[in-house]
Amino acid sequence: MSVIAPKFKLSYFIKSLTDNIFWIIVLLTLIGIPIIMIVLIFVDLPVHDGELVNPFLAFTMIFHPELAVPFLKSIIYSDFFKIAAFPGFGFAALLAAATIFAERKLLAKMQLRVGPFYCGKFEGILQLMGDGLKLISKEIIIPAKADKPLFWAAPVLFVATAAAFVALIPVAPGWVVADLDLGLIAVFAVIGFFPIITVISSWSANSKYPFIGGIRALHQMVSFEIPLILSLLGVTILTGTLSLSEIVHAQENYWLIVFLPIGAIVFFISMLAELERIPFDLPEAESEIVAGWLTEFSGMMYGLVQLGSYIKLYAFAGLFVVLFLGGWQGPMVVPPFPEEIITEGIQAGPITVQIAGLPIVSQEMLNGTLWFTLKTVAVIFFILIPRGVFPRIRIDMLLSIGWNKLIALAFVNMFIAVGLIYAGILGPGGIW
C-alpha cells in the first residue's frame, strides 16, 4: 500500500496490462495495418528490377536484406524523405531542439548557474521533452474576442513558413529540398512572410499588448529586410548567380567572408533582428509589453511558435553558412566506404550476405553534411551569445541603426564587390 497508489492490487495491475496489450493488438490490426497499406499505395513506389514495387513486394523486401537496401535507397532519394526527414523538416527540427537545449545550458554557464539539471540522468537532457509534454498538456486559452480561425492558424503558419525557408537551404551536394535557380530571391520571398504572420496573429488576438508587439515586429522586420537584402548583393555580384547551390560551388577555393567581411557583419546583425533575438527582441520585450505578440498564446500554440522560431534560427544560420562560410565545402574527413563489403559481403555468424547498392549515401554527402552541420552549429553559437551579453535596444535606436548605418554599410559592401570584379582580382580572369 503506497501513498501514491493506495488501491494498488497486483491482480488488477496484471489485468490492466493484459487489457492494454489486447487493445494495442486490436487497434494495430484494425487501424495500423490499413494505414501502412494506404501509405504504401499512395506514396510513390519505386520500380525495382523492372517491376513496380507493390505493397506485398515491399513487405517482403523489408525483411530481405539484399532487396531492402535498394528499397531503402529509393525511399531516401525520394522527395518525401527529403521534405520530411533529412535536409528538410526532421533535420531542422532536430537541430532546433538541440539549439534550445544548448542555449539554456550555455546561458546558464555564462550566468554562473546550472541550467536544466534534474530531468534526465545527464545534465537535464530530457528537459526539452518535459517542456514539450507540459506544453502539450496545457489548456489552450483563446481570448473571447479573438478572430479564432486566424488565431489558430498563426502558429501553424509560422512553423510552416520557417519550414519553407528550410527547404531552400542546401545541406550537401544535391541534398536540398528545392534547388532553385533563383534561390536567393526565394529566400527573400519566404522571409517576407514572417512579418505578415506576426501581424495576423497580433491583429487576430484583439488585445493591446500583442497589437503593440505586432506593430513593433512589423517595423523591425521591415527596416531590417532592406539591409539584409542589400548585404547579399555582394555575394550575387561575385558569384554571378542566384542559386544557393551554385553559390556554394563558387566558394570551393575561398570563402566569401574573406572578400566580403562587411557584408557578413551586416547580414549577421540583420539576421539577429529578423530572428527577434536579444538585443533585438523588441516584439517580445517582456518588461515593456508583457510578451509582445506572443502574449495571448498559450500551451502548445506557444510551443509551436517557439519551435518555429528556432527552426527559423537554424535556417538563417544555414543561410549564413551557405553564403559566406562555404556551405558544405571542407576537407574530406569521412573515410571511403569499404569496398570489400560489396565485393565479399558481411560475415554475420554462419551467413555471408552480399548486398548490392551499398553505400546508401555517398562519401561527399556525408562529408558535406558534417561540415555544414559543424559550421551551422558554430554560427548558431554566435547567435546565442549576445543574449547573455547585451540588453535590449529601443525601437528608435533600432530603426536608426537599420536605416542609417546598416544600409550604408551594405552599399559599401556592394561597391567592394564591384571593385573586386572590375579590378580583375575575382571573376573570369581572377583567382576565382
Task: Find the binding residues for another protein in span 172-201 (CB under 8 A).
Answer: 177-180, 184-186, 188, 190
Task: Between 38 and 222, name the residue whose CB sits nearer to another protein.
Answer: 222
Query: Are 283 and 213 within 8 A, CB to CB?
Result: yes
Report the residue from 57, 61, 96, 157 that binds another protein according to the rule CB under 8 A.
Answer: 157
Report the residue from 273, 289, 313, 383 that binds another protein according to the rule CB under 8 A.
Answer: 289
Question: Other C-beta atoms within 10 Å of 284: how many?
Answer: 21
The piece of 17-25, 43-51, 161-169, 351-359 that touches another protein (CB under 8 A) is 161-169
38 forms part of the interface with another protein (CB under 8 A):
no
152 forms part of the interface with another protein (CB under 8 A):
yes
Task: Between 120 and 279, name the residue whose CB sits nearer to another protein.
Answer: 279
Contacting another protein within 6-25 (CB under 8 A): none
Task: Between 252 and 286, name the residue whose CB sits nearer to another protein.
Answer: 286
252 forms part of the interface with another protein (CB under 8 A):
no
**Residue 233 CB, nearest approach to another protein (Å):** 5
> How is residue 4 written as a grid cell?
501514491
150 forms part of the interface with another protein (CB under 8 A):
no
Query: Are 233 and 410 within 8 A, CB to CB?
Result: yes
**Residue 291 CB, nearest approach to another protein (Å):** 8
394 forms part of the interface with another protein (CB under 8 A):
yes
DSSP string, 305-352: HHHHHHHHHHHHHHHHHHHHS-TT-----SPPPPHHHHHT-EEETTEE
215 forms part of the interface with another protein (CB under 8 A):
yes
Site string for another protein, 104-133 (x = CB under 8 A): ---x--xxxx--------------------
Beta-carbon contacts of residue 16 (< 8 Å; ≥ 6 apart): none
Beta-carbon contacts of residue 335 (< 8 Å; ≥ 6 apart): none
Report the residue from 86, 91, 175, 209 that binds another protein according to the rule CB under 8 A.
Answer: 209
**Residue 60 CB, nearest approach to another protein (Å):** 29
Task: Between 127 and 295, name the residue whose CB sits nearer to another protein.
Answer: 295
277 forms part of the interface with another protein (CB under 8 A):
no
Residue 99 class from Cβ within 10 Å (0-12 exposed, 13-18 middle, 19+ buried)? buried
Report the residue from 91, 175, 203, 259 that binds another protein according to the rule CB under 8 A.
Answer: 203
What is the DSSP code (8-state) at residue 86? S
Task: Between 342 and 395, name the residue whose CB sits nearer to another protein.
Answer: 395
Measured in degrees and rounded to the nearest 5, phi and psi for residue 299 equal 60, -135
Residue 31 class from Cβ within 10 Å (0-12 exposed, 13-18 middle, 19+ buried)? exposed
What is the DSSP code (8-state) at residue 304? H
334 forms part of the interface with another protein (CB under 8 A):
no
Task: Between 336 and 428, name the residue whose CB sits nearer to another protein.
Answer: 428
Report which of 313, 327, 318 is spatially closest to residue 278, judged by C-alpha positions: 313
Task: Between 190 and 266, name the residue whose CB sits nearer to another protein.
Answer: 190
244 forms part of the interface with another protein (CB under 8 A):
no
CA–CA distance, 307 with 96 (Å, rounded to integer): 7
387 forms part of the interface with another protein (CB under 8 A):
yes
Task: Between 97 and 164, name the residue whose CB sits nearer to another protein.
Answer: 164
* Residue corresponding to grid cell 505493397: 55
168 forms part of the interface with another protein (CB under 8 A):
yes
**Residue 137 CB, nearest approach to another protein (Å):** 6
Report the residue from 300, 315, 317, 406 that binds another protein according to the rule CB under 8 A.
Answer: 300
159 forms part of the interface with another protein (CB under 8 A):
yes
Question: Other C-beta atoms within 10 Å of 196: how many?
Answer: 13
What is the DSSP code (8-state) at residue 293? G
**Residue 150 CB, nearest approach to another protein (Å):** 12
Which whole-number Å values give the CA distances from 78 to 44, 73, 84, 151, in the listed order?
Answer: 8, 8, 10, 34
357 forms part of the interface with another protein (CB under 8 A):
no
Task: Between 44 and 66, name the residue whose CB sits nearer to another protein.
Answer: 44
| CA-CA-CA-CA dihedral for 204, 207, 209, 212, to nearest 10 | 50
137 half-sphere exposure, CB direction, 13 A CA radius: 6
Task: Between 131 and 179, name the residue whose CB sits nearer to another protein.
Answer: 179
> How is residue 183 written as a grid cell?
534561390
